[in-house]
Structure 1
Amino acid sequence: MSLSSSGVALSSPGRAQPLRVRVAARRPVAERVEEFVLTAASGDPLPAWSAGSHVDLVAPSGVVRQYSLCPADPGVYRVVVERRADGRGGSVSVHDDLAVGDETWISLPRNHFALTRALEYVFVAGGIGITPILALVDEARTAGRPWRLLYIGRTRAEMAYADDLVSAHPDHVTVHESRVSGRLTLSDALTGSARGTAVYGCGPAAMLDAIADACAPQPAVDSFTERFTAAVAESVPNREFELSLAMSGVTLTVPEDRTILEALDGSGVVAPSSCREGMCGTCETGVVSGEVDHRDAVLSPEERSENESMMICVSRCTSGRLVLEL
């Protein structure tokens, strides 16, 4: 297992080691929103990544949070952090305590929001949800596919890069300030999308639900979303089950009132984790056997049906016995 300087587990046997990074620059890009440019503390280029990727970042307080990677020069990472007083303190610590020249740890990039092939794209960003969308827009442009962006926020002053996007792509970007123009009805904005359109959204849960509802009845229009909070899923009632770890030979019982991750913690088995809400993908673990009740906001319906991996911080077993690659 590898630990950050704060003692936070970012990797374990079989997983890639975390990266030590230095803050090369930071600047405000909107109200309560700061941009951080990260370079490898070793001086080597940081690994390549794909549009839609995010990294775990250890805040000075020790809290680990996930941030999407924004377009940047090769070998350099750029993340954007909104200061949120209602969270677990990670963003506040990053804003207040992570200065230019400081070092911290990040994970290697992971991608659960990659751009699929489509005839054209519609991107919908709500507030800080613009961060993964920026790289997806760049990839769509590079592919030469038609695209448009609908960027929604309370006020323009709170919307990172809004002016830059409109200036660079005036015919493709629409900025909607809800405090000025009222609430936007997404069904009106998305209805009538051409067949073969892929709609990508990142933002508040209500916005993402509205995107799914607007796209569902349209033929050959698919929606893909990335959430700030885990979706509420319809699951079977919690039941106790037996858990076996194929690699370590450990067998234990997961009671109905504890998650797999909590049971492992209680047994002294270390597994990588971060959000513990089924959102970030850090705890994704391979499934050897057993039926999984998926409760995360990471895996696609197709990935869930394959039953090859699960998020052990929230998902459970419905078959009485589960064997994991741990």
Structure 2
Amino acid sequence: MSQTAATTPGRCPFPHGAVGVSAGSGCPVSTNAAAFDPFSDGYQQEPPEYVRWAREQEPVFYSPQLGYWVVTRYDDIKAIFRDNLTFSPSIALEKITPTGPEANAVLASYGYAMNRTLVNEDEPAHMPRRRVLMEPFTPEHLKHHEPMVRRLTREYVDRFIDEGRADLVDQMLWEVPLTVALHFLGVPEEDMDLLRQYSIAHTVNTWGRPRPEEQVAVAHAVGNFWQFAGKVLDKMRQNPDGPGWMQYGIRKQKEHPEIVTDSYLHSMMMAGIVAAHETTANAIANAMKLLLQHPHAWREICDDPSLIPNAVEECLRHNGSVAAWRRLATKDVQVGGVDIPAGAKLLIVMSSANHDERHFADADLFDIRRDNASDHLTFGYGSHQCMGKNLARMEMQIFLEEFTRRLPHMRLAEQTFTYVPNTSFRGPEHLWVEWEHAQNPERKTPALLDAKVPVRIGEPSGHALSRPVIVERVSDAADGIARLRLVAPDGGVLPRWAPGAHIDIECGDTGLSRQYSLCGDPADTRAFEIAVLRDTASRGGSAWIHEVVREGMRLTVRGPRNHFRFDEEGRRAIFIAGGIGITPVSAMVRRARELGIDYELHYSGRSRAAMAFIDELAQLHGERLSLHVSDEGTRNDFGTLRVDDATHVYACGPARMLDALRSCSEMWPEGALRVEYFAASAGKLDPANEHAFEVELKDSGLVLNVAADQTVLDALRRANIDVQSDCEEGLCGSCEVRVLAGEIDHRDVVLTRAERETNQRMMTCCSRAKGRRLILEL
């Protein structure tokens, strides 16, 4: 519903007599909107639940108590982050609760002059500074901090490992991220307790609602914090070649004095200490609380540390440390169909967006294997996305690795969780845990302290989404084809999948990971079924499965994922399979039969003995099945296929067959043919045959150079831009991005001809620019 409002900031913008009454009484502010209070215990305990009513019924509303428009849905909030000209970040660090004259006088007495920082400055100032100061935040530079984070984590756990009880916040989760933050910034590690007090005071001063009697004490702490930051900065200027991001900024000031100014460095020193550790400390506390509240998930990451990177993303999504942020509308604009006037202030509740069912299926479920968990908006998005996101990810992974290895028997103690009341930063003030110290694993196995799980710094990866399965049955599907039935270790259900989906199997200690299409019944949630051809020309995966895999073995799989989808809305379908390509097609044709879609199935093979599922297919599909068997002299003539506007053709098989189909499809309606290849055709990048080009990232405000020996995905990683990736061969579609301008040199085997011709999507792992520039929606 579109609502038109007046522009009086800080007051209800609608003309009426009494604030907060229902629309039926003359005020368009609903009863729920009038009652919205982000400082209430309900919001502090569970922000997504507190605004569920808004997410479902009134996604954009005006809060008379706060004087802000509140935005709660994923797409609306991401659109706001995308457009930092219409939605200015200038109020991000503004006091959400104005303080009185006495507190303001106290701040003035300290010379407090907090200026713009990367968080709250507009263009054109913001991006030049961000570019100049970005390098220390890139994954390759952050790796240098990993040993220090591991050492600190180990030392702090050593302090309480034999006590059997600890307040993780007080005894570890605050001090370690603060120490890491100071190390990263180059600030001396001293006065830790004082800095913690300063940081809390800064949070309350900016995002909280201090009572009048508290405001003066908070102002003194913030003023002292300001002076502390200035003194430390003065010391750094005496040794600008020292390590740390602030010293890096001082050196950059000499090169770019008009971009990196004195006042800017002073403000960044203070803001950086808060931003670099408070959000991380809270994020780790939230994650530990969440995991221990879900013992099954905790046990899974204890048993399989490779799940930790994606568990971190799901913790950040489900219970992140940054609940909401703020923006200022610079012109009249619509958000979610609601008219927002110029000058209006917006509270964008990212924690609500992270629970939006429109983007995250079963959003309230805590699922450490969620395949789009990293889409969360906890770090923001676009040109103002948190620069320190990968430092936080690294710390969270190392913390979880240490806890799961050394204290897998840890549990939450009975307690009531409290939070520092504020709109934005969120984490429990205390987190009490207990364990039987006599059962500490390292007492029996000291060598476990030597184990180290690799940390993934940078973009999330599908490689993290592994799950254990048991081989329930191995049978012969045909000559040289093994059929495997895989079940959950506990006998429970496995994730649902749709026809065309595949799983990745980790081939033991070989280091190989191979994709195999699911060929069973999608309605059977108790098992995954695959069929694997023994291929002497393969890269080793099929040989391992045929020679090593036996009933009762425990395997690790990832997925299911689907980039070869069957359109269930179609009226007619032709299915074409060659050899082992019958695996995804068999599930598709089964589904077409169930839906009553008109279909035909063409299955080609060398001999009947080498063709899987023949009897099963004949029983299910009868006359709709046509077999084309080479040693019987029958071949499929693609030219005889009747393909009209209502027909979709789905094909999987050898490259030669698919190439022939593509040639025939030139005469078919656009988009009729949909194929899945067994292998990529692009090959390894050869710099001698490539040219360099630029990619402009529209949402992030960056322009990157992609060298002749570099993929777009590599360039994005180096610039700290999150893009999912998995196969990195143009097969899986994980790294797809939207293209806004420029001509694409497509080298994947995912997109259809029609999709390529739109010039709107590309796979960053392999595809390139035909010209000198691409503009991407990133």
TM-score (normalised: structure 2): 0.36
- Residues 1:247 and 1:3: Cα distance change in structure 2 (over 3 Å): farther
CA distance in 2, matches of 1:71, 1:193: 28
Q: Secondary structure at the match of 2:676?
A: strand
Question: What is the letter of the counterpart of residue 110 of structure 1?
Answer: R
Choose the corresponding residue for 1:100, options 542, 548, 551.
551
Question: What is the letter of the counterpart of residue 563 of structure 2?
Answer: H
Choose the corresponding residue for 2:487, options 16, 30, 39.
39
The question of whether the paired residues in 1 share the 8 Å contact of 2:674 and 2:752 is answered with: no
Deviation at 1:245, TM superposition (A): 8.5
CA distance in 2, matches of 1:221, 1:312: 22
Choose the corresponding residue for 1:186, options 638, 645, 651.
638
- Residues 1:104 and 1:254: Cα distance change in structure 2 (over 3 Å): farther
**Structure 1 partner of 2:511:** 62
**Structure 1 partner of 2:460:** 13
- Structure 2 unpaired stretches of 5+: 1-304, 308-452, 684-688
Deviation at 1:269, TM superposition (A): 9.8
Deviation at 1:294, TM superposition (A): 2.6
CA distance in 2, matches of 1:129, 1:224: 13
CA distance in 2, matches of 1:306, 1:153: 35
- Structure 1 unpaired stretches of 5+: none
Choose the corresponding residue for 2:680, options 230, 247, 255.
230
Aligned-residue CA RMSD (Å): 3.8
- Residues 1:193 and 1:14: Cα distance change in structure 2 (over 3 Å): closer
Q: Secondary structure at the match of 2:559?
A: coil
CA distance in 2, matches of 1:23, 1:52: 21
Report which stretch shifted further, 215-224 or 174-183.
215-224
Deviation at 1:95, TM superposition (A): 1.5
Higher helix content, 1 or 2? 2
The question of whether the paired residues in 2 share the 8 Å contact of 1:112 and 1:299 is answered with: no
CA distance in 2, matches of 1:175, 1:295: 32
Q: Secondary structure at the match of 1:213?
A: helix
Question: What is the letter of the counterpart of residue 204 of structure 1?
Answer: P
Q: Secondary structure at the match of 2:485?
A: strand
Asked if 1:87 corresponds to 2:538, the answer is yes
Deviation at 1:195, TM superposition (A): 4.8
CA distance in 1, matches of 2:772, 2:671: 35
**Structure 2 partner of 1:207:** 657
Choose the corresponding residue for 1:29, options 455, 477, 482.
477
Q: Secondary structure at the match of 2:672?
A: strand
Deviation at 1:163, TM superposition (A): 2.2
CA distance in 2, matches of 1:227, 1:306: 21
Choose the corresponding residue for 1:170, options 604, 612, 622.
622
Deviation per CA, 1:109-166, whole angstroms, max 9, x where unpaired? 2222112232221111100000011111011111101211111000011110012212
Instruction: Name which one, 1 or 2, has greater alpha-carbon Rg.
Output: 2
Q: Secondary structure at the match of 2:658?
A: helix
Question: What is the letter of the counterpart of residue 295 of structure 1?
Answer: R
- Residues 1:81 and 1:168: Cα distance change in structure 2 (over 3 Å): same
CA distance in 2, matches of 1:324, 1:62: 34
TM-score (normalised: structure 1): 0.81
- Residues 1:45 and 1:247: Cα distance change in structure 2 (over 3 Å): farther
The question of whether the paired residues in 1 share the 8 Å contact of 2:500 and 2:587 is answered with: yes
- Residues 1:307 and 1:22: Cα distance change in structure 2 (over 3 Å): farther
Matches within 5 A, 1:268-279: 273-279=725-731
The question of whether the paired residues in 1 share the 8 Å contact of 2:739 and 2:774 is answered with: no
Deviation per CA, 1:51-96, whole angstroms, max 9, x where unpaired? 1111222112221111111123223211111111212111111221
CA distance in 1, matches of 2:555, 2:720: 26
Asked if 1:150 corresponds to 2:592, the answer is no
**Structure 2 partner of 1:126:** 578
Deviation per CA, 1:213-271, whole angstroms, max 9, x where unpaired? 334324588221111233569xxx62223568999999975321333456678999997
- Residues 1:221 and 1:243: Cα distance change in structure 2 (over 3 Å): closer
Deviation at 1:208, TM superposition (A): 1.7
CA distance in 2, matches of 1:244, 1:98: 47
Question: What is the letter of the counterpart of residue 197 of structure 1?
Answer: T
The question of whether the paired residues in 1 share the 8 Å contact of 2:579 and 2:605 is answered with: yes
Q: Secondary structure at the match of 1:313?
A: coil
Instruction: State percent identity of aligned pairs.
Output: 36
Q: Secondary structure at the match of 1:22?
A: strand
**Structure 2 partner of 1:259:** 711
CA distance in 1, matches of 2:653, 2:465: 30
Q: Secondary structure at the match of 1:170?
A: helix
The question of whether the paired residues in 1 share the 8 Å contact of 2:738 and 2:760 is answered with: yes
Q: Secondary structure at the match of 1:96?
A: helix
**Structure 2 partner of 1:110:** 561
CA distance in 2, matches of 1:31, 1:289: 49
Question: What is the letter of the counterpart of residue 515 of structure 2?
Answer: Q
Corresponding pairs, count: 318
Deviation at 1:210, TM superposition (A): 2.5
The question of whether the paired residues in 1 share the 8 Å contact of 2:520 and 2:529 is answered with: yes
Question: What is the letter of the counterpart of residue 211 of structure 1?
Answer: L
The question of whether the paired residues in 2 share the 8 Å contact of 1:48 and 1:75 is answered with: no
- Residues 1:221 and 1:244: Cα distance change in structure 2 (over 3 Å): closer
- Residues 1:218 and 1:314: Cα distance change in structure 2 (over 3 Å): closer
Report which stretch shifted further, 259-268 or 61-70.
259-268
The question of whether the paired residues in 2 share the 8 Å contact of 1:195 and 1:221 is answered with: no
Question: What is the letter of the counterpart of residue 13 of structure 1?
Answer: P
